[in-house]
Amino acid sequence: MLPSPFVFASRPRHGVIRVAAVVGLSLCLFCFATLKPAPAAEVSPQISQDPAAEVSTQIPQDQGPEVSPQIPQVPTPGASTQPPQIPAPEASTQPPQGPATEASMQTSRNPANEVSLQISQALAAHLKYSSEQLEAVESSEPLIAAKDRCLSAVYHATGNIPLWVNDNGPTERAAIVRTYLHAAATEGLRPEDYETEEIGRLWSSLNTQDLALLDTLITYNLLLYAHDVSYGQLESHSTNPKIFFDTGRQDFDPLVAIKSIIAAPDLTAHLAALPPSHQHYKALKNALKTYREIVAAGAVGGGGPK
């Protein structure tokens, strides 16, 4: 145990030396105490081990490579390749296949090949009026009663193309029309009023001019039949207007009629629905049938009604 500094101070000579030694020792201890808590060398390695260094190393290892591979994984190339896979050309080819208009329906049934083009050109010889001439005509006569004007108006409205024939002859729809014209007698009409003999004469011909004429004959006589079986014949009204005052239709529109005929998906059903459906008409048909049976029996047996 060291003696107190005051003890050394009581000794004049040796006490000064000892005081100085004590002071120096105290300074050394003070300096050592102040320098001891500075483990800078230990902190610096900890700084290198600080998570900041790990973050700096993680940036190139994690975020950089992960972001860059994600960019090519975005389906931008796929989006650029998808447009040519859209069936745009198919949409452009669909309109000519759809029955948008009456003319397109006829061209689908009658392909516009070399022969049908010739038939279309041959039709012009049977059309007496141009569109401008039709507009200039002033007449009180019903259009259905004027064959030349009726045919010109109908074919100009439908594109001046054949409606019932093609390069192979009459179509199936034309055969349906011919059947109804021949059966006009069942409706109290005369088949000869609808040029059935002339139609039969041209039926098997493949001549361009004959086919064009046949097409016009079918068109006009079908329209005339449609009018007569629906409303009665205009001829009866002209013969005796007092008796047949309500026979025929002065305002019958052949253009409306031909468009409905062309657009009919089932032509047989369409033509079968033309006659009146009320009970009085059906009673007249039954009476006509009975009368004809009586006449036929009288002709065979040599008798019959007087």
DSSP of 6-33, one letter per residue?
Answer: HHHHTSHHHHHHHHHHHHHHHHHHHHHH
Mean of pLDDT values over 113-138: 87
Q: Are residues 108 and 209 in the same domain?
A: yes
Q: Are residues 208 and 222 in the same domain?
A: yes
pLDDT at residue 215, rounded to an integer: 98
Q: Which of the listed ranges 37-41, 215-219, 234-238 does the model predict with the highest average pLDDT?
A: 215-219
Q: Are residues 289 and 305 in the same domain?
A: yes
Q: What's the angle, vertex CA 9, arms to CA 5 and CA 14, rounded to 5?
A: 105
Domain presence at residue 12: no
Q: Answer whether 182's CB lies under 8 Å from 130's CB.
A: no
Min mean pLDDT across 11-25, 223-237, 276-290 is at 11-25
Domain presence at residue 283: yes
Q: Are residues 208 and 280 in the same domain?
A: no
What are the contacts of 11-18 at 24+ separation with CB within 8 A? none
Residue 139 or 57, more confident: 139
Q: Are residues 288 and 242 in the same domain?
A: no
**pLDDT higher than 60, residue 65:** no
Residue 284 or 215, more confident: 215
Q: Are residues 225 and 113 in the same domain?
A: yes
Domain presence at residue 41: no
Mean of pLDDT values over 115-133: 90
Q: Are residues 293 and 185 in the same domain?
A: no
Neighbours of 8 (CB within 10 A): 19
Q: Are residues 211 and 242 in the same domain?
A: yes
Percentage of residues in the chain having pLDDT higher than 90:
43
Domain presence at residue 270: yes
Residue 224 or 106, more confident: 224
pLDDT band at 233; cut points 50, 70, 90: confident
Domain carrying residue 109 = 101-275
Q: Are residues 165 and 283 in the same domain?
A: no
pLDDT at residue 138, rounded to an integer: 86
Q: What is the pLDDT of residues 153-211, one digit of tens each?
A: 999 999 999 999 999 999 999 999 999 999 999 999 999 999 999 999 999 999 999 99
